[in-house]
Amino acid sequence: MKPNLFFDLDGTLTDSGEGVINCAQLALRHFGIPCEDRVPLRAFVGPPLRESFPRFGVPADQVETAVEIFRSRYNTVGKFENVPYPGIRRMLLELRRGGFSLYVATSKPERTALEVLDKFELTACFDRVCGADFSGARDSKEDVLRYLLDLLPPGQQALMIGDTIYDVQGAARFGIPTIGVTWGYGDPEEMRRGGAVDLVDSPAALYDLLSGGLNGRL
């Protein structure tokens, strides 16, 4: 039986860095935090905002304000400063034709994830899109994966595909192996050290690995 494939969104299916970084800068400037160097702000792509802002100096009691400022721009402009990675659409369609069931598991709010996927006409590639909620009750990758797994029949095999250690660690809590993609925003070696079963450098290479059954490693 083929495993269910759980895809991360930001940094895995689409390159959302421009919009995320622009919105992070807006929020950090509100607090007078230096943020002209965009390279460190790549760390905002993927993890929950409520985890990222404290790492950049936002006081704990002001994190919700930072999230609101970020989303004030992201929900209108930033979410569309985004583009699918080359080869993603073809890979997804070929995986579906090959009999795989595809899901999105993202810590981005679910409604926003659907808007992004709709814009790029990718929603129909997936059996279900699961994401965070705006309240923060379902926020981390672990929360989203628990939510997704609760929607599926028990005992089915699954495989996570993502670009950061958060994907690897979140999936590992449920005994789900992860393939790390190197075209996103995470550290490939960190993913390998964290337990990723393999790393791939292109959507075509990911398709080849999946269609070959991962050489029996699942």
Q: Any idea which residues carry the catalytic annotation?
A: 8
Q: At what angle do helices 203-211 and 88-97 cross, to 10 degrees?
A: 10
At CB < 8 A and 24+ separation, what contacts does 90-96 make?
Answer: 90/203, 91/203, 91/204, 91/206, 91/207, 92/122, 92/125, 92/126, 93/125, 94/207, 94/211, 95/5, 95/207, 95/210, 95/211, 96/125
Give the SS3 label for residue 71. Answer: helix
Q: What is the token pair recorded at 131?
A: 């994401």
